[in-house]
Structure 1
Amino acid sequence: MKLALVYAILALIATAANIGAQDLTLRVYSGHFSLITSVIVGTGVGLVLKYVLDKRYIFGFQSKNMVHDGQTFVLYAVMGVATTVIFWGFEFGFHFLFETKEMRYLGGIIGLAIGYVAKYHLDKRYVFRTEAI
Structure 2
Amino acid sequence: MNLKTLVLRYSFFAALATVANIGAQRFVFDVLGDNALIPAILVGTAVGLVLKYILDKRWIFYDLNGGISDHGKKFSAYTAMGIVTTFIFWGMETTFWLIWRTDMMREVGAILGLAIGYVVKFHLDRRFVFTNSMLSVGASR
TM-score range, shorter chain: over 0.9
Matches within 5 A, 1:34-113: 34-113=36-115
Structure 1 moving runs of 4+ over 4 Å: none
Q: Residue 2 of structure 1 aligns with which residue?
A: 5
Tell me which of 22, 25, 37 is aligned to 1:22: 25
Structure 1: how far apart are the matches of 2:122 and 2:6? 11
Q: Normalising by structure 1, what TM-score?
A: 0.94
Using structure 2 for the length normalisation, give the TM-score.
Answer: 0.89
Q: Where in structure 2 are there 5+ consecutive unaligned residues? A: 134-141
Greater RCO structure (CA 8 Å; 6+ sep): 2
In 2, Cα distance between equivalents of 1:8 and 1:68 = 26
Amino acid at match of 1:34: A
Counterpart-to-counterpart distance in 2, 1:67 and 1:119: 23
1:95 Cα shift? 0.2
CA RMSD between the two structures:
1.3
Partner residue in 1 for 2:117 = 115
Give the fraction of aligned pairs with identical amino acids, expressed as a percent.
48
What letter is aligned with 2:46? G
Q: SS at 1:121's partner residue?
A: helix
Shift of 1:30: 1.9
* Deviation of 1:64 (Å): 4.4
Give, in whole Å, the separation in 1 of the partners of 2:14 and 2:37.
23
| Post-superposition CA distance 1:46-96 (Å, at most 9, x none) | 000000010011011122421111110000000000000000000000000
Partner of 2:137: none
Partners of 1:65 and 1:44 in 2: how far apart? Answer: 21
Any stretches of 5+ residues in structure 1 without a counterpart? none
